[in-house]
């Protein structure tokens, strides 16, 4: 079965760092881009960026460029989304999704809460 | 950036009825790279339609997509109880990828 499994919910304080993960299985991990999507009640679904694990080529939405880092570890078929300094406004649900165009397989989501 | 505007915001229908959802783009969507997703409460979005009109694997044929250029439509021919959910369109023809704000299909 093709699936993406994300790491668990996180509660952090503003200013702290965070790295969440997305592990792929059931397919050739290096052959598909993996995207990160943020969902909030106010702004809906937002594409943050994606990475091609085959060569670690990462592309970012202008809205998220410089705010987060997307990386991959092919040895464990895992993609990461990282913040160096969380803001309260980063509180959201984050999804990873496999893509060669449309987003055909989604992870279950990771809730991130940044609150003092 | 391509802005996608979905209408209506909410559609109140009964099981068995036909649902017609609209997605309008602020610019031409390249190569009709337009997808539709369904999202139920507490779940991740699920791909229904890609390339404007191709059904994703395992999607029932009561779901159909049409349109090109800037105007796209998702049609659910006869609503089943499990179809009441929020539906999003997304363009993946240009960067940044963008989503519409969603249409909620609720039980009347």
User: Which of B74, B47, B53 has its CA nearest to residue A104?
Assistant: B47
CA dist A26 and B89 (Å) reads 27
DSSP H stretches of helix in A7-101: none
> Is B88's CB within 8 Å of A45's CB?
yes
Mutation to test the A interface, candidates B37, B39, B44, B86, most A Cβ within 10 Å: B44
Q: Is the CB of A46 inside 8 Å of chain B's CB atoms?
A: yes
- pLDDT 10s digits, B16-61: 999 999 999 999 998 889 999 999 999 999 999 999 999 999 999 9
CA dist A69 and A51 (Å) reads 10
Q: What per-residue confidence (pLDDT) applies to A61? A: 97
> Is A102's CB within 8 Å of B101's CB?
no
HSE of B6, CA atoms in CB hemisphere, 13 A: 26
- Residue in chain B closest to A98 (alpha carbons) equals B47
Q: Is the CB of A9 inside 8 Å of chain B's CB atoms?
A: no
* Out of A35, A102, A108, closest to residue B47 by CB: A102
User: Which of B99, B91, B96 has its CA nearest to residue B52?
Assistant: B91
Q: Is the CB of A18 inside 8 Å of chain B's CB atoms?
A: no
* Out of A101, A108, A109, closest to residue B33 by CB: A101
Q: Which residues pair with residue B69 across a beta bridge? A: none
CA dist B75 and B77 (Å) reads 6
DSSP summary character for residue B85: S
- pLDDT 10s digits, B52-79: 999 999 999 999 999 999 999 999 999 9
Q: Is A53 exposed, middle or buried (0-12, 13-18, 19+ CB in 10 A)?
A: buried
Strands A33-40 and B54-55: unpaired
Q: What per-residue confidence (pLDDT) applies to B31? A: 85
Is residue B88 very low, low, confident or very high in pLDDT (cuts 50, 70, 90)? very high
- Measured in degrees and rounded to the nearest 5, phi and psi for residue A6 equal -95, 160
CA dist A101 and B65 (Å) reads 17
Q: What per-residue confidence (pLDDT) applies to B16? A: 97
- pLDDT 10s digits, A1-41: 999 999 999 999 999 999 999 999 999 999 999 999 999 99
Q: Which residues pair with residue B46 across a beta bridge? A: B38
> 3-state DSSP call for residue A115?
coil
- pLDDT 10s digits, A56-69: 999 999 999 999 99
Question: CB atoms < 10 A from the CB of A63, how many?
Answer: 14
């Amino acid at each position: 079965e093709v699936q993406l499994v994300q790491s668990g919910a996180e509660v952090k304080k503003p200013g702290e760092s965070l790295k969440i993960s997305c592990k792929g299985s059931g397919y050739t991990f290096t052959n598909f881009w993996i995207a990160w999507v943020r969902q909030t009640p106010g702004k809906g679904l937002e594409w943050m960026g994606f990475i091609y694990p085959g060569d670690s080529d990462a592309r970012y939405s202008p809205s998220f460029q410089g705010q987060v880092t997307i990386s991959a570890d092919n040895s464990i078929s895992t993609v990461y989304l990282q913040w160096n300094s969380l803001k309260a406004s980063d509180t959201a649900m984050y999804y990873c999704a496999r893509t060669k165009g449309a987003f055909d397989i989604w992870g279950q989501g990771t809730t991130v809460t940044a609150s003092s | 950036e391509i802005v996608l505007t979905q209408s209506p915001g909410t559609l109140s229908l009964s099981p068995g009825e036909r649902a017609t959802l609209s997605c309008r783009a602020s610019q031409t969507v390249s190569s009709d790279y337009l997808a539709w997703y369904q999202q139920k409460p507490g779940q991740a979005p699920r791909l229904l339609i890609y390339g404007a009109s191709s059904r994703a694997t395992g999607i029932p044929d009561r779901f159909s997509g049409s349109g090109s250029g800037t105007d796209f439509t998702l049609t659910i021919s006869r609503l089943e109880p499990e179809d009441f959910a929020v539906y999003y369109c997304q363009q993946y023809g240009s960067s940044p990828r963008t989503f519409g704000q969603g249409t909620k299909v609720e039980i009347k």
